[in-house]
Structure 1
Amino acid sequence: MDEDGLDAARFDADSDATADAETETSTETAGTDETDDTMPGVPDPEPDADEPPEDVQKYARFTKMDGAQYDRVNEFLRDRTYVTAREWAIARLCSDFRTETGVEMTKIGENLPELVPFMTDTYTPQAVNQARSSFEEKVRKAGATFLYGAMCDFFTAEELDDVMYESTEVAKFLLEVEGVDLSVEEELEAEERISSVMREVREASEELRTQDEE
């Protein structure tokens, strides 16, 4: 990638966060207390009454994106993947806040602006589930599209290697933004697993085409 690629796409961290049209399913942030605190006899609210849950306060996945602008993040993702910024963020949250009984969608939706710097609105549990489902569907379709392209003999082996290299670089960048610290050994191991799978795909594809020709 060129200089304007991954490193230059650090999402315009000096800009104010703005919401994309895709957040239209989100709910309005909970209303503020309109009580006039200058009125005598009205007690001050509890200092921690509006504090988010402890695990939300400690969540640090997207701290590298403090001050990032939603539109900038969305543009980066749409140029390189099928998913939107909200689908990416919520898919990660659903993974991190999964419990034995399911995903804590209410907690994710109510605390979305605290969990992800570039998200500015709260979401209903239904909106969280919709974004998660959309992410999963796009990943499955992208996987089917890629495998067909790899198996239909449209790409050469070298071209497929280039596709895999670029895809791996984008994926690693997103993981780094999320705060995942990949060691060199882990990167090499992941790349070897991917290369091994691709070799198996190419071999299977060649066998299928050979059978069809007989």
Structure 2
Amino acid sequence: MSDDPTPAGGDDTSDREFEMAGETASDPAENGSGDEGVADSVGTDADTERDGADTERADADTESEEAGSPTASHDVELPEDVPEDVAEYERFTKMDRADYDRVNEFLRDRTYITAREWAIARLCADFRTETGVEMTKIGENLPRLVPFMTDTYTPQAVNQARASFEEKVTKAGATFLYGAMSGFYTAEELDETMYEVTEIAKFLLEVEGVDLSVEEELEAEDEISRVMREVREASAEVRGEEVKCPECGHVHETE
């Protein structure tokens, strides 16, 4: 399996287009001409550096995958008997020609997660039973389930990747929520941020195979905007700042 690369320099995330398995999907924040896609080539202009913490995290991820157990199991033959639910699994079919490094690079430019964490977190959600997650099944059939994953994984490796995903989601959520509650941003700026991150999240869902209608997208965006307005108003009250009433538009000073 290709190792997670050290994050490349951040570039403008607005000029990507992805060609996957014969159909085209536009990048979530497309403003300019599109590059080649995840399936063929996703390039990046290394014109700025990530900060030291991101680089160290990337190096740690790479070392973890190179170290062997509990990571990828190299040169292991896939089981001949394919479980029915594995054979019928249709996530990630839009990425049949995708390369792990390209997918990883795309995610690193826009999120905190790696390609393996994304893939395995989705599989853990899809292969959950009443008694738990079928980690052995996921690990043994990983290359069959996700086109850009080329090695089988041990159950420990599957669990490790899932735990890493959950940890990063928690840290990213805390960072974002603090920014939203801190008063550093206006309501309009928060709306812009939410629009950008929502577009990226929707794009990843669409790549996984989720078919979102326009009505569903608009409804989700409206609901997210409403929740974020409530978060901003509640945090302003906590800080004892003036809050504009959404009903009358007047400014009320909080106690």
TM-score, normalised by the number of residues in structure 2: 0.71
1:148 paired residue number = 178
CA 14–161 in structure 1, closer or farther in 2 if over 3 Å, else same: closer
Report the counterpart of residue 26 of structure 1 in structure 2.
72
* Equivalent position SS for 1:168: helix
With over 3 angstroms needed to count, the CA separation of the structure-2 counterparts of 1:99 and 1:29, relative to structure 1, is: farther
Q: Which has the higher helix share?
A: 1
C-alpha deviation, 1:155, in angstroms: 1.3
1:27 partner letter: S
Q: Do residues 70 (structure 1) and 116 (structure 2) align? A: no
Equivalent-residue separation in structure 2 for 1:13 and 1:102 (angstroms): 36
Gaps of 5+ in 1: 33-48
Answer whether contact 1:112 1:119 (CA < 8 A) is retained: yes
Aligned 1:138-177 pairs, distance under 5 A: 138-177=168-207
Higher relative contact order (CA 8 A, sep 6+): 1
Instruction: Supply the AA of the counterpart residue of 1:167.
Output: V
* 1:168 to partner: Cα distance: 0.5
2:32 aligned with 1:2: no
Shift of 1:196: 1.3
Structure with greater Cα Rg: 1
Question: Among 53, 64, 71, which residue is 2:83 paired with?
Answer: 53
Give the aligned partner of residue 45 of structure 1.
none
Q: Displacement, 1:14?
A: 7.0
Worse-superposed segment, 182-191 or 99-108:
182-191
1:157 Cα deviation after fit: 1.2
Give the partner amino acid of 2:224. Answer: I
Distance 2:156 2:77 in 1: 20
Partners of 2:124 and 2:135 within 8 A in 1: yes
Q: Which 4+ residue blocks in structure 1 deviate beyond 4 angstroms?
A: none
Residue 4 (structure 1) shift? 2.6
Give the root-mean-square deviation of aligned CA atoms. Answer: 2.3
3-state secondary structure, aligned to 2:175: helix
Distance 1:87 1:9 in 2: 24
More strand by share: 2
TM (normalized to structure 1)? 0.83
1:157-213 Cα offsets, whole Å, 9 max, x none, are 1111111000000001000000000011211121122111101111111101117x9
Query: What is the CA deviation profile of residues 23-64 of structure 1, one whole-angstrom value per residue up to 9, with x for unaligned ones?
Result: 3321124249xxxxxxxxxxxxxxxx7132111111110110
Q: Any stretches of 5+ residues in structure 2 without a counterpart? A: 1-12, 18-26, 28-33, 43-60, 242-253
Is the Cα contact below 8 Å between 1:62 and 1:178 reproduced in 2?
yes
Equivalent positions of 1:47-196 (< 5 A) are 50-196=80-226
Partners of 1:8 and 1:136 in 2: CA distance:
31
Q: Superposition pairs for residues 29-48 of structure 1, below 5 Å?
A: 29-31=75-77
Figure out how many residues of one structure are paired with residues of the other and give that number: 194
Q: Percent identity?
A: 72
| Alpha-carbon distance in 2 for matches of 1:166, 1:71 | 24
The 8 Å contact of residues 14 and 67 in structure 1, kept in 2 or not, is answered as: no
